[in-house]
Amino acid sequence: MTARESAAALIIAGGQGTRFWPLSRTRRPKPLFSLDGRTTLLGDTIARLQPLIPRERIFVIAAAAQAALFRRAVRGSMPARNLILEPDGRGTAVAIAYGAGVIQARLGACALAVMPADHYVAPPAAFRKTLSSALRLARTHPAIVVIGVTPTHPESGFGYQKIGSAVEGGGFRVERFVEKPAPKIAERMVKSGDYLWNAGMFVMRSETLAAEIAAHRAPLSAVMRELPALSGAKLARAYHRLKFDSFDREVIERSRRILGVRANFGWHDVGSWDGLWEARCDADGNLLSGRVVMIDSQGVLARAGNRLMVLLGVDDLVAVDAGDAILIARRSRSQELRRVIDELRRRRFDRYL
């Protein structure tokens, strides 16, 4: 078996994407959101893994309640049987343990790359080069390898990892993790040059993952070892009883076997309309899609639907036409769209959720 063939990927397709309302909804979760109106975040994630990891060894884990949506989304890009369905959303620790257990039962021991389905990464070739380095490190060290991104600004909403001593193979030891530091602390950390953003991408051998879970969160071991053999009501009952925190908190932050590699690709978690604007705005500070006419306006994200959209004399704005609903918001407040969802629910406008 070649090094390329011995690797597999698990893509975590969770998240409702409420901060991309009105285009992302219960029936259109965030991984199926499109940055460019052509492909989806999930489709982009699957595509950029290849040919480093063949499509036959790419798996997606998603909610069983959205099975039909994701089956359509992955059709033609990977084998249908590689869609793993969770009966309930139980956080990333459970998703990774269960997904890794299913993959190991299917493929045997392998090097496993785990990543979210809904991040912006470019260019794909640079991503594959970084991932290849992480896979080499994971194959030669009994450790979990975390991909870190060089910060472009002090961001208090991200997790950070501190760069430690170099290790053979081109990586480094991760000294510690800092989760969502206060703005002033984040500023000092970024200025020091000793910290990277934690992009939520993990690479390890399946036996390393099993050993680390057993060492630091033993009750989680059964999820990886026993649950892949269950199905139907038995799996649903077992899943419903699970109560674990995120993979970072349950395993990564407890382990002393964490190595890191520095990403040489552009990355953004694209968590809101403002985040999308920040990641992809043009030289004029705008991000436009569809038939949009701009006059004396800047700092705008605008997505027209089937109608012409005209913006006159506005700044720092989000304008999105979804056909049945229109969002007009100050761009800097687009992180607050949860309030919109709560208000629509209070008014029983369920058709728009």
Residue-wise pLDDT for 108-119, tens only, equals 999 999 999 989
Tell me whether residue 69 is in a domain.
yes
Confidence band (pLDDT; 50, 70, 90) for 336? confident
**DSSP category for residue 24:** S
3-class DSSP state of 321: strand
Of 240, 268, 296, the position where a domain reaches its end is 268
Instruction: Copy the structure tokens of residue 330.
Output: 């100050």
* pLDDT(3) > 50: no
Tell whether 171 is covered by a domain: yes
The CATH number of the domain where 203 resides is what? Answer: 3.90.550.10
Does 96 share its domain with 221?
A: yes
Same domain, yes or no: 220 and 314: no
Query: What was the pLDDT predicted at 6?
Result: 81
Count of other CB atoms within 10 angstroms of residue 18 = 19
Same domain, yes or no: 77 and 213: yes
Answer whether residue 303 is part of any domain.
yes
Residue 109 pLDDT: 93
Report the SS3 class of residue 229.
Answer: helix
Q: Is residue 320 part of a domain?
A: yes
Residues 6 or more apart whose CB falls under 8 angstroms from that of 20 comprise: 30, 33, 272, 273, 276, 337
58-81 average pLDDT score:
95
Res 26: pLDDT? 76
50 & 175 share domain: yes
Type of residue found at 115: M
Residue 189 lies in a domain: yes
pLDDT at residue number 17:
64
- pLDDT tens for 71-104 read 999 999 999 999 999 998 899 999 999 999 999 9
Least confident range from 22-36, 85-99, 169-183, 307-321: namely 22-36
Please say which residue of 246, 268, 290 terminates a domain.
268
What pLDDT was estimated at residue 220?
94
What is the tens place of the pLDDT at every residue in 265-310?
999 888 789 888 988 889 889 999 999 999 999 999 999 989 999 9
Q: Output the average pLDDT for the chain.
A: 92
> Is there a single domain that holds both residue 215 and residue 299?
no
Q: What is the pLDDT of residues 228-275, one digit of tens each?
A: 999 999 999 999 999 999 999 999 999 999 999 999 999 988 878 988
153: Cβ–Cβ under 8 A, 6 or more apart, which residues? 190
Question: Is 275 inside any structural domain?
Answer: no
Place of tokens 């389905």: 117
Residue 56 lies in a domain: yes
Residues 30, 134, single domain; the answer is yes
Domain membership of residue 296 as a residue range? 282-352
- Does 198 lie in the same domain as 335? no
Residue 53 is predicted with a pLDDT of: 96
**What are the tokens at 338?**
């949860």
pLDDT tops 60 at residue 4: no
Q: Domains in the chain: how many in total?
A: 2
pLDDT recorded at residue 16: 67
